[in-house]
């Protein structure tokens, strides 16, 4: 079980206890003489009373949960971590100014190839390497379902933020949306979508418009009849989805046009240059879920001090093109077996339906658990944030955690459109301080030039 301690102020605890005692007394009294309609009205009223009892007084806070687990509640007010200090309730990220000039600006911006997010890791030679998605053969992001590779680039500054220069292809098409971790035994582990072969296109330019990207992401066209090729597969169809190359979590022959939803794979090696051993990653009890039972993609990993590996993933595209977030756990490290951590989707809308989002990034702190996603519905616009005290029960913030505005060191500003995609946070060596966030971006590419790139944005640091 994943548990983080909750902080509850004494005054809040007293209010909650008093309100609960009052509620129980009224329910017992009413149960003897009230009609069903009166009982329902009383229940609604008591729910409001209890919510008010637990609420923060005068818009302040009573616990770190009122600070979105990104700050401490001190004397009734949130004291936010520097990286989350752009709003009084610690719901919005705060960014430092960023270099604009090519060659100095952080990130990975290849003049001839399109990339789409990644994660840095230190090689055995002490150099920082970025493991990232890149489109082969000078093709744009719109070709990702056939052309995406996992590539390795090396920092030219010796710093984890780069800038980075392309070194080599690690995994051929199709391999997309990677993240990387190093296991205790020294094995490098890449988690990614793919692991099967596609016929990569050859292109003359990485240029593309937002429309092309949107078409590539959604796959286009109405879903097929249920239980036919897997692209429309309600749970009632059963666990025998058609797959490619032995994958068991696939949308069948339509997969490569429908979010490339054939599932997650791992690639392992003792060296960042390979050779890499690729294996499909399956969640053994996935069909116990009602909404995250299929089409697992976009993995993100948090390794706990006790050796437990936690994974958040995108899921559900086979189910009426739903995209939402599930979580899984392995007590055997990256090799598994993997089981559902939460039976169903963890981020919910106010009406209880699964929140539509993708590209999760999960991490834990001393206060609890956190998720950033690329948002697809609701008031949060391009990015969304959820938090949990125990890793099981989650709260979806109604506030947009970050936008795509850039403040440059020369006093000018820019807009890195599409930056809600592929969020990953890089932390200080002690794991206590978030240093920067990494995203895929469509515009504001350093040095100009066409094609998507991998954006690094420095977060505000503690004083």
The pLDDT of residue 243: 59
Location of structure tokens 């990494």: 438
Together in a domain, 38 and 141: no
CATH number at residue 138: 2.115.10.20
Location of structure tokens 């009052």: 22
In a domain, 395, yes or no: yes
The pLDDT of residue 262: 65
pLDDT tens track for 358-406: 999 999 999 999 999 999 999 999 999 999 999 999 999 999 999 999 9
The pLDDT of residue 23: 45
In a domain, 92, yes or no: no
Together in a domain, 26 and 126: no
Reduced to 3 states, what is the DSSP secondary structure of residue 190? Answer: strand
Mean pLDDT of the chain: 84
pTM score: 0.84
Sequence-distant (≥ 6) Cβ neighbours of residue 459 within 8 angstroms = 82, 83, 93, 94, 95, 96, 434, 435, 436, 437
Sequence-distant (≥ 6) Cβ neighbours of residue 403 within 8 angstroms = 381, 382, 383, 419
**Domain ranges, residue 170:** 115-458
pLDDT tens track for 267-276: 999 999 999 9
Strands (E), 341-460: 357-364, 369-375, 383-388, 394-396, 405-407, 413-415, 424-427, 434-441, 453-458
In a domain, 265, yes or no: yes
The pLDDT of residue 318: 80
The pLDDT of residue 25: 47
Indicate the number of domains in the chain: 2
Alpha helices in 117-229 (DSSP H): 144-147, 210-218
The pLDDT of residue 242: 66
Together in a domain, 72 and 125: no
Together in a domain, 337 and 267: yes
Residues 314, 323 contacting (CB under 8 angstroms): yes
Together in a domain, 68 and 122: no
Picking from 57, 80, 103, the residue at the C-terminal end of a domain is: 80
The pLDDT of residue 59: 53
In a domain, 99, yes or no: no
The pLDDT of residue 110: 94
Together in a domain, 169 and 71: no
Mark the ranges of the chain whose per-residue pLDDT is less than 70: 1-59, 208-224, 229-231, 242-262
In the DSSP assignment, the letter for residue 432 is S
Sequence-distant (≥ 6) Cβ neighbours of residue 212 within 8 angstroms = 140, 141, 142
Q: Say how far apart CA 123 and CA 129 lie, in whole Å.
A: 7
Together in a domain, 58 and 142: no
Distance from first CA to last CA of the chain, Å, rounded? 35
Please give the share of the chain, as a percent, with pLDDT higher than 70: 78
The pLDDT of residue 49: 40
Please give the share of the chain, as a percent, with pLDDT higher than 90: 67
The pLDDT of residue 240: 73
């Amino acid at each position: 079980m994943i548990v983080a301690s909750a902080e509850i102020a004494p005054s809040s605890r007293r209010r909650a206890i008093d309100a609960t005692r009052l509620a129980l007394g009224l329910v017992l009294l009413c149960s003897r003489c009230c009609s069903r309609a009166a009982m329902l009205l009383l229940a609604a009223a008591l729910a409001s009373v209890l919510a008010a009892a637990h609420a923060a007084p005068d818009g302040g806070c009573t616990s770190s949960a009122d600070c979105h687990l990104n700050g401490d509640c001190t004397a009734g007010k949130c004291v936010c971590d520097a990286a989350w200090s752009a709003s009084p309730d610690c719901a919005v990220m705060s960014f430092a100014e960023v270099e604009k000039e090519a060659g100095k600006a952080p990130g990975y911006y290849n003049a001839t190839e399109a990339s789409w997010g990644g994660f840095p890791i230190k090689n055995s030679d002490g150099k920082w390497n970025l493991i990232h998605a890149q489109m082969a053969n000078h093709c744009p992001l719109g070709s990702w379902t056939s052309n995406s590779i996992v590539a390795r680039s090396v920092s030219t500054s010796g710093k984890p933020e780069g800038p980075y220069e392309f070194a080599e292809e690690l995994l051929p098409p199709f391999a997309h949306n990677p993240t990387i971790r190093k296991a205790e035994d020294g094995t490098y582990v890449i988690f990614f979508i793919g692991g099967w072969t596609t016929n990569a296109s050859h292109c003359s330019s990485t240029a593309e418009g937002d429309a092309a990207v949107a078409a590539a992401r959604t796959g286009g066209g109405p879903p097929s009849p249920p239980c036919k090729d897997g692209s429309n597969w309600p749970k009632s169809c059963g666990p025998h989805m058609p797959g490619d190359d032995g994958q068991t979590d696939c949308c069948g022959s339509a997969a490569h046009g429908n979010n490339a939803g054939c599932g997650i794979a791992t690639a392992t090696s003792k060296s960042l240059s390979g050779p890499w051993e690729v294996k499909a990653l399956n969640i053994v009890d996935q069909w116990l879920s009602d909404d995250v039972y299929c089409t697992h993609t976009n993995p993100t990993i948090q390794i706990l001090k006790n050796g437990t590996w936690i994974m958040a993933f995108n899921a559900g595209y086979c189910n009426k093109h739903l995209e939402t977030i599930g979580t899984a756990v392995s007590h055997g490290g990256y090799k598994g077996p993997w089981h559902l951590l939460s039976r169903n989707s963890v981020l919910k809308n106010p009406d209880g339906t699964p929140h539509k989002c993708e590209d999760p990034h999960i991490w834990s702190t001393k206060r609890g658990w956190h998720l950033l996603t690329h948002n697809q519905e609701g008031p949060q616009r391009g990015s969304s944030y959820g938090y949990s005290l125990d890793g099981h029960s989650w709260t979806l913030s109604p506030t947009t955690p970050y936008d795509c505005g850039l403040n440059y060191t020369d006093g000018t500003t820019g807009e890195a459109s599409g930056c809600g995609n592929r969020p990953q946070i890089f932390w200080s060596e002690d794991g206590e301080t978030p240093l920067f966030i990494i995203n895929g971006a469509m515009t504001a590419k350093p040095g100009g030039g066409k094609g998507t790139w991998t954006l690094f944005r420095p977060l505000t640091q503690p004083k």
